[in-house]
Structure 1
Amino acid sequence: MSLQGTVFSRRSFLGGVAAAGAASWLPGCRSVCSGKGPCSKFGGVQVGVITYSYRSMPDKSAEAVLAQVVGSGVSSIELMGDVVEKYAGASLEKVAELRKMYADAGVGIHIVKFGNIGDKGCTDERIAYYFNVAKALGAKAITREISEEAAKRVGPMADQHGVKVAFHNHTQINAITYDGPILSYGKNLAINLDIGHYVAANEDCVLAVIEKYHDRIFSLHLKDRKNKANKGANMPFGQGDTPVVEALQLVKKNKWRIHADIELEYPVPQDSDAVREVAKCVQYCRQALA
């Protein structure tokens, strides 16, 4: 399935988004967001960003990350766990303060990433803490890398806490990975499908994977990688082989409640920064969902 000819040319659109710069927000979208701050919900699809995208920015404090997110025009995020822990430590009251600070700026936190949840060295107490942090943030899911051993351990706890644990992929999965038992260990185990990494590793169409597992996919990671035959390089949106446009439109068409989170991995140009580049990606997604 290709919608490039009927909607817009992915390459030609780059000229339009280049002018976006570090857009603050889009007032015309406020009716579907909180009514304040940025809005990145387009056509019923919540576009967000994983805050790992701002790793090249010098200030990594919670306050700075919030300013970066707002500067990119994003209203919902996957927040890296280290940002939370540096701000709040072990205090759930401080976690709630962080949530309020972000909410007051119009930014929701739908996922928090704790990459070691369920690992052998992660105690049950630590896992419970992660779930409690997620709830204090208002997050509906925690993300980590795919691991069946972790799934066995956290599945029952995810059900107990009512918070999903969504598994992220790099290039290690294929079209039948989730046919296996990994999601069977708890009804709140889910998928954080990185479509760019999938395209770089496989020859089949990632859109079919989205359709197949849509009821277990909590979020997509959006990046535009070249395919396996083209060495899998990370490219600016519209220059790779990943069907970002088609994936977004598939979610929109079916009204699936799947978050679509930008993960900036292509090299940031010398005359730009991560805030501006994420803003370009947001505008690309907005146009795709128009």
Structure 2
Amino acid sequence: MISSFTRREFTKLALSALPAAGMFSALNPLRAAASGGKPNSRVAGAHIGLNVPYSFGGRTMAGEEILRNCRELNLSAVELRAQPVELFMGMPAIVVAAKTSSPKAGGAADGNTAKIREWRKSVTMDRVRDFRRMYDEGGVSIEILKVDGIFAMTPEELDYSFTMAKLLGARAISTEISKVDADVRRVGEFAEKHRLMIALHGHASTTGAQYEHSYTLGEFVGTNLDIGHYVAGDNGSPVEFMKRHHARISHVHIKDRKLDKQTKNGPNTPFGEGDTPIKEVLRLIRDNKWAIQATIEFEYKVPETSTRMGEIARAVKYCREALA
């Protein structure tokens, strides 16, 4: 039980389960977590991150496993979904699974909303502090917290979510965009109260004009710009959008997609094989020294001859080389 250890002892115990840096032979080209040190994915001032655990293929992966994978990939920053944190805090796994079964904006899982709310009222934030300490000791910063269903939350749950984000060290909460102005305005008021950006994430059908409209709904309403979706939806250049609105962008999702002007929903591809200006976006962040995390979001199909970790490593390598 956690109560049997001091917090420092707990952190050391958790980190001792992580493989030593010298054992990362499969990803040796990335020089994962140099021997005895911590991971470092800051390249020429730009910080490469990863959307986790989504990029690893799920939403409820244990925080310890996520941290281990990030260290293996030599990644020192993440956008982290709230589910692994709440699992770490003691939320029953069956409730976590239920509440993430339909991750659309504006909704919590049917039949479990009351259970989730009661559980959230019953817990303290001590385990959140332990979670952050584990990641700090492991060399991975949680810059963004992804919260599902935020527009359906009660005021108490919104305070809970923003408090969690701040305790984890995040500078923004990300969530799926809502087209309901009243919803965005209400959550934006809590973002202002907590002085923490609420970054709205869109898809190929989300236009630049929708993001720009959301900025009128609150000072702390911003954007998690997915450059692959932006291109696939035939919305123009994400570079130009970023130049105009960089102060409102917490992080960008880095992925490659093809432009299909007919469907406006071109497919995902390995990095460098689509139409998304990944290199230009990364260099734009680097050259302007913007505090915008370049967050890889892995979505294309894993080739039969490869592995998910191998393909993510390939994406990380592509980004590193673009910034070198």
Q: TM-score range by the shorter chain?
A: 0.7 to 0.9
1:208 to partner: Cα distance: 1.0
Partner of residue 15, structure 1: none
Tell me the TM-score normalised to structure 1 length. 0.84
Question: Which residue does the alignment assign to 1:80?
Answer: 81
Structure 2 residue aligned with 1:134: 165
Cα distance in 2 for residues equivalent to 1:229 and 1:179: 23
Please state if 1:276 is matched with 2:310. Answer: yes
TM-score (normalised: structure 2): 0.76
Q: Which has the higher contact order (CA 8 A, sep 6+)?
A: 1
Distance 1:134 1:263 in 2: 20
Residue in 1 that maps onto 2:106: none
- Higher mean alpha-carbon deviation, 166-175 vs 216-225, is at 166-175
**Paired amino acid for 1:107:** V
Match of 1:227 among 256, 259, 262: 259
Number of paired residues? 262
Greater shift, 170-179 or 74-83, is seen at 170-179
Find the structure with the greater CA-based Rg: 2
Cα deviation per residue 1:179-203 (whole Å; 9 max; x = unaligned)? 32x1223222111000001111115
The whole-number CA distance in structure 2 between the counterparts of 1:257 and 1:165 is 15
**In structure 1, what is the equivalent of residue 51 of structure 2?**
50
CA distance in 2: counterparts of 1:56 and 1:129, whole angstroms: 23
- In the TM superposition, residue 273 of structure 1 has moved relative to its aligned partner by 2.6
Contact 2:258–2:266, Cα closer than 8 Å, also in 1: yes
Shift of 1:226: 0.6
Q: Percent identity?
A: 38
CA distance in 1, matches of 2:151, 2:272: 36
In the alignment, which residue of structure 2 is the partner of 1:67? 68
Contact 1:141–1:166 (8 Å) recurs in 2: yes
Q: Which runs of 5+ in 1 are unaligned?
A: 1-18, 29-34
Cα offset for 1:115? Answer: 1.7
Alignment of 1:19-58 (within 5 A): 20=27, 23=30, 25=32, 27=34, 36-51=37-52, 52-55=54-57
When residues 63 and 20 of structure 1 are mapped into structure 2, their CA distance, relative to the original with a 3 A threshold, is: closer
Aligned-residue RMSD, C-alpha: 2.2
CA separation of 1:21/1:168 partners in 2, compared to 1, >3 Å: closer, same or farther? farther
Q: Go from structure 1 to structure 2 and tell me whether the alpha carbon gap of 1:43 and 1:286 turns closer, same or farther (over 3 Å shift).
A: same
State how far apart, in whole Å, the 2-side matches of 1:94 and 1:24 are.
32
- Does structure 1 residue 164 correspond to structure 2 residue 219? no
* Counterparts of 1:56 and 1:279, CA distance in 2: 18
Q: How does 1:156-195 map to 2 (within 5 A)?
A: 156-180=189-213, 182-195=214-227
1:20, CA displacement in angstroms? 4.8
Displacement of 1:73 in angstroms is 1.4
Is contact 2:30-2:317 (8 Å) kept? no
Q: Aligned equivalents of 1:162 and 1:56: distance in 2?
A: 30
Cα contact 1:73–1:279 (8 A) shared by 2: no
